[in-house]
Amino acid sequence: MNIKSARSYTSKAGNKVFVYEVTGTQEELAKFKAAQGENYRETEAGVALWFTTRSVGNSGKLIITTNGKVVPDMSAFDQAASLAKQYGGNLGEELAKAAAAQLLGGNNVSAPAPVATPSAESLDNI
Protein backbone atom coordinates (compact mmCIF):
# COMPACT_ATOMS: atom_id res chain seq x y z
CA MET A 1 0.00 0.00 0.00
CA ASN A 2 1.16 3.50 -0.71
CA ILE A 3 0.78 6.51 1.53
CA LYS A 4 0.87 10.20 0.75
CA SER A 5 1.06 13.00 3.32
CA ALA A 6 -2.28 14.78 3.69
CA ARG A 7 -1.73 17.05 6.69
CA SER A 8 -0.52 17.21 10.27
CA TYR A 9 -1.91 18.60 13.50
CA THR A 10 -1.10 18.84 17.19
CA SER A 11 -3.14 16.55 19.43
CA LYS A 12 -4.74 17.60 22.73
CA ALA A 13 -1.77 15.96 24.47
CA GLY A 14 0.61 18.21 22.51
CA ASN A 15 1.90 15.52 20.14
CA LYS A 16 2.41 16.19 16.44
CA VAL A 17 0.22 13.81 14.42
CA PHE A 18 0.88 13.11 10.74
CA VAL A 19 -2.05 12.07 8.55
CA TYR A 20 -1.50 10.03 5.40
CA GLU A 21 -3.89 9.01 2.63
CA VAL A 22 -3.68 5.30 1.86
CA THR A 23 -4.01 3.81 -1.62
CA GLY A 24 -3.73 0.26 -2.85
CA THR A 25 -5.61 -2.60 -4.38
CA GLN A 26 -9.09 -3.44 -3.11
CA GLU A 27 -7.62 -6.46 -1.33
CA GLU A 28 -4.88 -4.37 0.34
CA LEU A 29 -7.36 -1.72 1.44
CA ALA A 30 -9.70 -4.39 2.86
CA LYS A 31 -6.78 -5.83 4.88
CA PHE A 32 -5.85 -2.30 6.01
CA LYS A 33 -9.41 -1.64 7.16
CA ALA A 34 -9.53 -4.93 9.04
CA ALA A 35 -6.14 -4.29 10.66
CA GLN A 36 -7.16 -0.80 11.78
CA GLY A 37 -10.42 -2.06 13.27
CA GLU A 38 -12.21 0.64 15.26
CA ASN A 39 -9.34 3.03 14.49
CA TYR A 40 -10.15 2.97 10.77
CA ARG A 41 -10.85 6.45 9.36
CA GLU A 42 -11.43 7.80 5.88
CA THR A 43 -12.10 11.10 4.16
CA GLU A 44 -15.57 12.20 3.07
CA ALA A 45 -14.55 11.03 -0.41
CA GLY A 46 -13.84 7.53 0.94
CA VAL A 47 -10.02 7.67 0.96
CA ALA A 48 -8.51 5.60 3.78
CA LEU A 49 -6.40 7.53 6.33
CA TRP A 50 -3.47 6.42 8.46
CA PHE A 51 -2.34 8.42 11.51
CA THR A 52 1.10 8.36 13.14
CA THR A 53 3.20 10.46 15.49
CA ARG A 54 6.32 9.69 13.46
CA SER A 55 6.71 11.32 10.06
CA VAL A 56 7.76 9.04 7.23
CA GLY A 57 8.20 11.83 4.67
CA ASN A 58 5.87 12.99 1.93
CA SER A 59 5.16 9.49 0.66
CA GLY A 60 5.97 5.90 1.43
CA LYS A 61 4.63 2.41 1.82
CA LEU A 62 2.71 0.59 4.54
CA ILE A 63 3.09 -3.02 5.61
CA ILE A 64 0.70 -5.15 7.62
CA THR A 65 2.78 -7.38 9.89
CA THR A 66 2.06 -11.03 10.59
CA ASN A 67 0.56 -9.82 13.88
CA GLY A 68 -1.89 -7.62 11.97
CA LYS A 69 -0.20 -4.33 12.88
CA VAL A 70 0.05 -1.52 10.30
CA VAL A 71 3.58 -0.09 10.10
CA PRO A 72 5.52 2.03 7.61
CA ASP A 73 8.13 0.35 5.43
CA MET A 74 11.27 2.07 6.69
CA SER A 75 13.76 -0.14 4.81
CA ALA A 76 14.94 2.72 2.52
CA PHE A 77 15.64 4.91 5.57
CA ASP A 78 17.46 2.03 7.29
CA GLN A 79 19.59 1.41 4.19
CA ALA A 80 20.50 5.10 3.94
CA ALA A 81 21.48 5.24 7.62
CA SER A 82 23.56 2.09 7.24
CA LEU A 83 25.45 3.47 4.23
CA ALA A 84 26.13 6.79 5.95
CA LYS A 85 27.44 4.99 9.04
CA GLN A 86 29.41 2.47 6.99
CA TYR A 87 31.38 5.12 5.12
CA GLY A 88 31.41 7.84 7.79
CA GLY A 89 33.32 11.09 7.46
CA ASN A 90 32.63 13.46 4.61
CA LEU A 91 31.44 10.70 2.28
CA GLY A 92 28.99 9.39 4.88
CA GLU A 93 27.70 12.90 5.48
CA GLU A 94 27.17 13.52 1.77
CA LEU A 95 25.49 10.13 1.35
CA ALA A 96 23.17 10.98 4.24
CA LYS A 97 22.29 14.37 2.72
CA ALA A 98 21.59 12.88 -0.70
CA ALA A 99 19.52 10.04 0.75
CA ALA A 100 17.51 12.39 2.96
CA ALA A 101 16.71 14.64 0.01
CA GLN A 102 15.61 11.67 -2.08
CA LEU A 103 13.59 10.03 0.70
CA LEU A 104 11.82 13.24 1.64
CA GLY A 105 10.96 14.06 -1.96
CA GLY A 106 13.31 16.98 -2.34
CA ASN A 107 16.05 17.55 -4.81
CA ASN A 108 17.87 20.38 -3.11
CA VAL A 109 21.05 18.49 -2.33
CA SER A 110 23.72 21.08 -1.82
CA ALA A 111 26.32 21.18 -4.53
CA PRO A 112 29.60 23.02 -4.27
CA ALA A 113 29.53 26.54 -5.64
CA PRO A 114 31.15 26.84 -9.07
CA VAL A 115 34.63 28.31 -8.97
CA ALA A 116 35.48 30.84 -11.64
CA THR A 117 38.81 30.14 -13.28
CA PRO A 118 40.59 33.35 -14.26
CA SER A 119 41.64 33.67 -17.85
CA ALA A 120 45.26 34.30 -18.84
CA GLU A 121 44.30 37.85 -19.91
CA SER A 122 42.85 38.72 -16.51
CA LEU A 123 45.98 37.40 -14.77
CA ASP A 124 48.16 39.67 -16.94
CA ASN A 125 46.25 42.70 -15.65
CA ILE A 126 47.05 41.99 -11.98
For the residues 33-61, what does the mean pLDDT come to? 94
**Do 82 and 62 reside in the same domain of the chain?**
no
Domain range spanning residue 66? 2-73
Interacting residues of 109 by C-beta distance below 8 A, sequence separation 6+: 97, 98, 101
Answer yes or no: do 39 and 83 share one domain: no
> What is the residue-averaged pLDDT of the chain?
83
48 and 18, same domain (yes or no):
yes
Would the pLDDT of 107 be above 70?
Answer: no
Single-letter amino acid code for the residue at 24: G
Residue 91 lies in a domain: yes
pTM higher than 0.85, yes or no? no
Residue 54 has pLDDT above 60, yes or no: yes
For residue 108, pLDDT over 60 is answered with: no
- Clarify whether residues 34 and 92 are in a common domain: no
Assign residue 15 a region (left: φ > 0; alpha: ψ between -120 and 50; beta: otherwise).
beta
Q: What's the Rg (C-alpha) of the chain?
A: 22
Task: Say if residue 64 is in the same domain as residue 10.
Answer: yes
